[in-house]
Structure 1
Amino acid sequence: MTKTITCISPVDGSVFAERPALPFDEAAAAIADCRAAQKEWAARPLADRVALVNKGVARLVEMTDEAVPEIARMMGRPVRYGGEFGGVVERADYMGEIAAEALAPIVIEKSDQFERRIIREPHGVVFVVAPWNYPYLTAINTVAPALIAGNVVVIKHASQTLLAGERMVQAFTEAGVPEDVFINLFLDHETTSALIGARAFDFINFTGSVGGGQAMERAAAGTFTPLGLELGGKDPAYVMEDADLDAAVATLVDAGMYNSGQCCCGIERIYVHESLYDAFVEKAVATVSDYKLGNPLDEATTLGPMAHKRFAAEVRAQVAEAVADGATAMIDPALFPEDDGGAYLMPQVLTGVTHDMRVMRDESFGPVFGIMKVSNDDEALELMNDCQYGLTASLWTQDAARAAAIGAQIETGTVFMNRADYLDPALCWTGCKDTGRGGSLSVIGFQNLTRPKSYHLKKVTA
């Protein structure tokens, strides 16, 4: 009996889309066809591959009017914010611009006696397992450089954004990328694990939960298939006594609440120097109180539903536990009557929190953050590192040297000063601890999507 993968819309709880899950044999056959197309794709001039990827992205952008409300219906992001395609273009363009240099051979010697060099060779079949929170932005981080480097790509999206991979492949195919070079598959968890265990893929990039990453590692155990994993996060911010208070509040509130808090590098815990604490809390509460929770298809909505009611239930539980343990909920529920106890969840700011509370330790991935008062850098540093995750950290000060010194001691993948919740394609997107391993974008992204191959050529002379 054929299994069905279903997307339940958080907007109204209705079935938005369904697709049959491919059985193992059919999926394996499709991947085999993809593998057969890889050599010819890799043999194309690099400039041609870059141009085709750029055309694919351009075609995707042309679908904005369809894709934006589709995203709203699938995972709840308000249409007023548009699609993700500005970032998609920025990242794909940058990776295309640096490709020739990043993939160039490293020439050690070229003499009458020897040629010695290291080249970057594509892995072959790259499997991209993309999440629902930013279905296009997260996918392009691997799809664009993988294709540019000469790999073929198989993409599988989360069920919550079931149609995103299908649309992405459609755009690239219509732009001229050969059909077997970039394919979308609808797979259940069991078939996905079986394909990984059967060595169907040569590189796997997974973005999702820690549990999902552990499942990927178990499935790949003994296959030696390299994995790139971007998993959970609990990103901190530290607002120092010399910070620009208004800028810090505006940026950090947005970083905590945008996309209903469902951002990989969203801010979930804020540490504020005691001299600014009261003013920061007052301004943050006022800012959050102005959000409008509602139907994401309404242009006036600034905060849509969470992607699924079970995600909202987890955030509610964390908040309730914190309040029961002494935290104070600063946002008045009367301001958000649309909170329906299901996927629609009001934003919340908590004070009086401690690291004994789950809301300051476990990933919330929702519109809530806790604010703690600190006295100095050492106290803030200890709290920032008291976490199982390490994706980004946001530091607020006028002193770049101080930020760099503190940043050197933070267990994280990216250190920001006076900004947050941003991905710079020129820098490696990476994490540590339970956030995962590997890195995407930048020159390092190309290195991870290729393998080194050495040539040692001795010239025989009479």
Structure 2
Amino acid sequence: MIEYDQLYIGGEWTSPAGSSTIPVHSATSEERIGVVPEGCEADIDAAVAAARKAFDDPAGWSRWEPSQRAEVLERFAVSLEKRSEETERRVSLQNGMPIWLAQQFEGPFPPLLLRYYGALVRDVAQEEIRPGMLGGKSVVAREPIGVVAAIVPWNVPQAITFLKLAPALAAGCTVVLKPAPETVLDALLMSEAAVEAGLPAGVLNVVPGGREVGAYLVAHPQVDKVSFTGSTAAGRAIGATCGQLLRPVTLELGGKSAAIVLDDADLQSSIESFFAATLLNNGQICWLGTRVLAPRSRYDEVVDTVTGLAGSLRLGDPMDASTQVGPLVSARQRDRVESYIAKGLNDGARLTTGGGRPADLDQGWFVEPTVFAEVDNQHAIAQEEIFGPVLAVIPYGSEDEAIAIANASDYGLGGSVWTTDPDRGESVARQVHTGTIGINAYVNDPTAPFGGIKASGTGRELGPEGLHAYQHLKTIYLAP
């Protein structure tokens, strides 16, 4: 059992205002493995007040030189690295992420982002002087936006947390973080690292809680900016609230991305990259290419290849380094995925592999990697985000038809093109309506912006654009 009885607010471990707790369960054993306090509105009030005080302090975090903040972020990175093995373990226990993937995403990525954004604010000028056309000149300065409400999901909890924390803190903002109830043990371990690193009081505050607590935080009158990663339905509600308040918001939401297999593709030679772009993290990543578009001239071959891949994956304990697919995060999530498998069958799609629970695993929220063939792009399994290891293989005739099918979606977050001709792949990629897309692979590089269009959200994370999301522009006119 990993137990906490306090919250990290105002630079200290403090007793929660209420008595409710969040039980934490293993996705593999289904057993209870921890408990943390559940924050309430009074805790949010205290956290926001601490963040507000820290931001408004005339000698505080927002007024520090960027190099000073970068030094603290480096100490934070070092403290996180000391705890990386335990962070990886806790994430895998909670959400079923295979441990080898946690060792790539959850351990090293947060320190990498802290160092990237620390260097960015330290080394890149945050203001410029522009000569005027009407006489005089202007100073255009980037200033921290204020108190940030950061709400993160359970699927890649630490990496996504630092998509927000690293640029926000580097910019000089202060943050109230609400982690998802399913993955709170890693968030409080991260708080321990913040204490050791000596983050000034109130710069970072962590309040676990459910939707109601999140909604209260989003609408709090002392919050200046909201950054949310999660479902499109929740994002719409948050966007509506922020619209009413004229409050800046970044929304990284759902996806139903297309993996376009062109007629010259050699999937076998890039099967590991294809797996990473379509079934990574047990299918619990928003940008995965869960719609596989295959040319009719090679349709059966592509179906066989994708089916062979899914059927060959090793299911099991995510703490085992040889496991490729672990359990889903919860019984509720497994029920959701199974309901979509039933919809696929009812709509007439042909199941080629999977579709059930593994017979040799009687504990854990497992679903077999599942592939459907003969899928129409209008089927529910082709239009709605499932968030599990389920792929829909959709046939197309011409290249133009493939692009049209890829674009016939409410979403636009990720995607990929598979071909032996990179120039042809880039031409197709440029015609797909999406925020990000890869050719023969897919990766979120820290230097390039990540985010979606349409129902996949608004705003960008990563790259300099991720820093700019936590800054506003101030123009100072200087008379001649």
How do 1:169-248 residues align onto structure 2 when only pairs under 5 Å count? Answer: 169-248=191-270
Name the SS of the counterpart of 1:272 in structure 2.
strand
Larger mean CA deviation between 177-186 and 9-18 belongs to 9-18
- Give per-residue Cα distances to partners, 1:178-206, cap 9 Å, x unaligned: 23211111234323323332323111100
- Give per-residue Cα distances to partners, 1:379-433, cap 9 Å, x unaligned: 101110111111012012243443333233221101211112x201111111011
Does 2:465 correspond to 1:444?
yes
Q: Measure, in 2, the Cα distance between the counterparts of 1:454 and 1:247.
A: 53
Partner amino acid, structure 1, of 2:295: H
Please point out which of 336, 351, 354 is paired with 2:358. Answer: 336
- Give per-residue Cα distances to partners, 1:353-398, cap 9 Å, x unaligned: 1123211110011011011222221110111011111101201224
Name the SS of the counterpart of 2:169 in structure 1.
helix
Q: Measure, in 2, the Cα distance between the counterparts of 1:317 and 1:335.
A: 13
Does 2:147 correspond to 1:125?
yes
What's the counterpart of residue 363 of structure 1?
A: 385
CA drift of 1:87 comes to: 2.7
How do 1:13-412 residues align onto structure 2 when only pairs under 5 Å count? Answer: 13-38=30-55, 39=57, 40-83=60-103, 84-100=106-122, 104-109=126-131, 114-331=136-353, 336-338=358-360, 340=362, 343-412=365-434
Partner amino acid, structure 1, of 2:38: A
CA drift of 1:221 comes to: 4.4
Please point out which of 12, 20, 23 is paired with 1:3. Answer: 20
Contact 1:28/1:200 (<8 A) preserved:
no
Q: Structure 1 residues 404, 452: closer, same or farther in 2, change over 3 A?
A: same
Q: Measure, in 2, the Cα distance between the counterparts of 1:281 and 1:55.
A: 49
Contact 2:136/2:479 (<8 A) preserved:
yes
Larger mean CA deviation between 230-239 and 290-299 belongs to 290-299
Contact 2:449/2:466 (<8 A) preserved:
yes
CA drift of 1:234 comes to: 0.7
Q: Structure 1 residues 342, 79: closer, same or farther in 2, change over 3 A?
A: closer
Q: Structure 1 residues 31, 51: closer, same or farther in 2, change over 3 A?
A: same
Larger mean CA deviation between 115-124 and 178-187 belongs to 178-187
Q: Structure 1 residues 276, 52: closer, same or farther in 2, change over 3 A?
A: farther
Q: Measure, in 2, the Cα distance between the counterparts of 1:333 and 1:397.
A: 29
- Give per-residue Cα distances to partners, 1:24-46, cap 9 Å, x unaligned: 23421232122211241122221
Does 2:436 correspond to 1:414?
yes
CA drift of 1:280 comes to: 2.6
Contact 1:270/1:370 (<8 A) preserved:
yes
Q: Measure, in 2, the Cα distance between the counterparts of 1:107 and 1:336.
A: 63
CA drift of 1:441 comes to: 1.4
Name the SS of the counterpart of 1:429 in structure 2.
coil
Partner amino acid, structure 2, of 1:434: A
- Give per-residue Cα distances to partners, 1:287-306, cap 9 Å, x unaligned: 22222222223334221110
Partner amino acid, structure 1, of 2:107: F
Q: Measure, in 1, the Cα distance between the counterparts of 2:359 and 2:125.
A: 54
CA drift of 1:315 comes to: 1.6
Unaligned runs of 5+ in 1: none
Report the identity percentage: 28
Q: Measure, in 2, the Cα distance between the counterparts of 1:334 and 1:454.
A: 59
Larger mean CA deviation between 86-95 and 231-240 belongs to 86-95
CA drift of 1:162 comes to: 1.3
CA drift of 1:222 comes to: 2.4
Contact 2:358/2:368 (<8 A) preserved:
yes
Larger mean CA deviation between 38-47 and 217-226 belongs to 217-226
Q: Structure 1 residues 3, 340: closer, same or farther in 2, change over 3 A?
A: same
- Give per-residue Cα distances to partners, 1:81-115, cap 9 Å, x unaligned: 3432233333333323332465521210399x844
Name the SS of the counterpart of 1:315 in structure 2.
helix
CA drift of 1:342 comes to: 6.6
Q: Structure 1 residues 384, 20: closer, same or farther in 2, change over 3 A?
A: same
Name the SS of the counterpart of 2:222 in structure 1.
coil
Q: Measure, in 1, the Cα distance between the counterparts of 2:239 and 2:23.
A: 25
Q: Measure, in 2, the Cα distance between the counterparts of 1:448 and 1:91.
A: 15
Q: Structure 1 residues 94, 244: closer, same or farther in 2, change over 3 A?
A: farther
Q: Measure, in 2, the Cα distance between the counterparts of 1:126 and 1:338.
A: 46
TM-score normalised according to structure 2 size: 0.89
Q: Measure, in 2, the Cα distance between the counterparts of 1:109 and 1:309.
A: 61
Larger mean CA deviation between 433-442 and 41-50 belongs to 41-50
Q: Structure 1 residues 299, 404: closer, same or farther in 2, change over 3 A?
A: closer
Contact 2:77/2:115 (<8 A) preserved:
no
Contact 1:75/1:133 (<8 A) preserved:
yes
TM-score normalised according to structure 1 size: 0.92
Superposed CA RMSD in Å reads: 2.4
Q: Measure, in 2, the Cα distance between the counterparts of 1:88 and 1:368.
A: 29
CA drift of 1:346 comes to: 0.8
Name the SS of the counterpart of 1:392 in structure 2.
coil
Q: Measure, in 1, the Cα distance between the counterparts of 2:357 and 2:235.
A: 38
Partner amino acid, structure 2, of 1:344: F
Name the SS of the counterpart of 2:244 in structure 1.
coil
